[in-house]
Amino acid sequence: MENYPEDLKYHKGHMWVRADGTIGITFYAQDQLGEIVFIEVPDAGTEIEAGEPFGEIESRKSVSDLYAPVTGTIKEVNSEVVDAPETINEDPYGKGWVVIVDIGDPGELDNLLSAAEYNELVAGEENK
């Protein structure tokens, strides 16, 4: 069982978000994907909508959509993960963040999963 940071909120599409708008991919997602070789996200200034795809992540095994956990405007893209996508595998909750957004409605964070709820979701998927 992986430890999911308690200070984050989780989207069922295996994304995490901090209260400051930092968004990334969960340990579970990067673990399932395997070695990440490419990530594509829109530029700063782009609007993203909660629950909708806003980018793609590619591993040696597959290509997956990145789902926005919240609605907002991208303020910053992590150029380090664009240049070195494997950073996500190495440090998904630290250097491997993907974008920072200006969250339109901070109340949306209440609709997301806690670390314990996300852990239950993942445990359910692993037992399929």
Domain harbouring 20, CATH code: 2.40.50.100
Which ranges of 1-128 does DSSP label H, i.e. alpha helix?
A: 27-33, 79-83, 86-90, 115-126
The verdict on residue 56 lying in a domain is yes
Structural domains of the chain, count: 1
First to last CA, the chain: 15
pLDDT at position 128 over 70: no
pLDDT, residue 2, reads: 65
CB 66 within 8 A of CB 53: yes
* C-alpha to C-alpha distance for 93 and 17, rounded to whole angstroms: 10
The verdict on residue 124 lying in a domain is no
What does pTM read for this prediction?
A: 0.95
pLDDT, residue 126, reads: 75
Structure-token match 């629950």, residue found: 51
The verdict on residue 41 lying in a domain is yes
Q: Which domain holds residue 33?
A: 9-111
The verdict on residue 57 lying in a domain is yes
Q: Which residue has the higher pLDDT, 126 or 34?
A: 34
The verdict on residue 121 lying in a domain is no
At 127, the pLDDT band (50, 70, 90 cuts) reads confident
Lowest mean pLDDT segment, chosen from 1-10, 26-35, 117-126: 1-10
For 67-120, write each residue's pLDDT tens digit.
Answer: 999 999 999 999 999 999 999 999 999 999 999 999 999 999 999 999 999 999
The verdict on residue 119 lying in a domain is no
Which stretches of 14-104 are assigned E, i.e. beta strand? 15-17, 22-25, 36-40, 47-48, 53-59, 63-67, 72-77, 99-103
For 23-33, write each residue's pLDDT tens digit.
Answer: 999 999 999 99
